[in-house]
Amino acid sequence: MSFVDVTLQLLQGFLVTLEIFAISWLLAIPLGVFFCSISICRFKWIRKVMSVFIWVIRGTPLMLQIIIIFYVPGLLFNLPSLDRMVSVIIAIVINYAVYFSEIYRAGYESISKGQKEAGFVLGLSKSEIFFKVYLKQIIKKIIPPMTNETISLVKDTALARVITIPEVLKSAQEIVAKDAIIWPLFYTAVFYLAIVGILSIILKLYEKKLSYIAS
């Protein structure tokens, strides 16, 4: 295959990679907020259940979670398997929502309670205190770890190949197997570096925009 042919085929796989990343990231962010709200709720037994769930998700490989979601319903319960893309996205969303929730929780708990008390003294409601006092500070604190997790998510889209989704790395592997050339495998790094670089710049700019907020 010529360089142009390889590039075009890898671009097709890269579009699948981008689709997995974009959908998973956009869904994991709000789901992480939901998980975080459960982790800090006032009911101890709910917090305990959530902590066990977080422990299981963080303690098992994402690849295994993808395999379980795709194969287990059919093998154990004789149910029709989910669509491959849907299975991958569900696994990634749940996995990263858990990691995001821990980042949110750490950001929330890092804000001193004195600011909340000061807000009440000024006559602010709980919602006003959260949105006017807490939220921007929390966002500023979580941007660096969220950037790291976002970059990890981009790279983890490659795990979709375990259930034969033709993302960019799977596309490269198919070219290598078919044409007995190795360089397309390394060429995929260009695609990953491009999207990681763009995301890093965007998130860094957003972090800089929030830099005026006092720590």
Helices marked H in the chain — which ranges?
3-39, 44-59, 62-77, 84-109, 113-121, 126-129, 135-156, 168-179, 183-209
Sign of the torsion angle spanned by Cα atoms 184, 186, 192, 194: negative
Which pLDDT tens digit goes with each residue over 45-83? Answer: 999 999 999 999 999 999 999 999 999 988 888 888 889
Domains of the chain plus CATH, in order, are 3-209 (1.10.3720.10)
Which pLDDT tens digit goes with each residue over 165-214? Answer: 999 999 999 999 998 899 999 999 999 999 999 999 999 888 888 766 54
pTM above 0.85, yes or no: yes
Name which residue leads in pLDDT, 13 or 137.
Answer: 13
List the structure tokens of 37: 């709200």
pLDDT greater than 80 at residue 163: yes
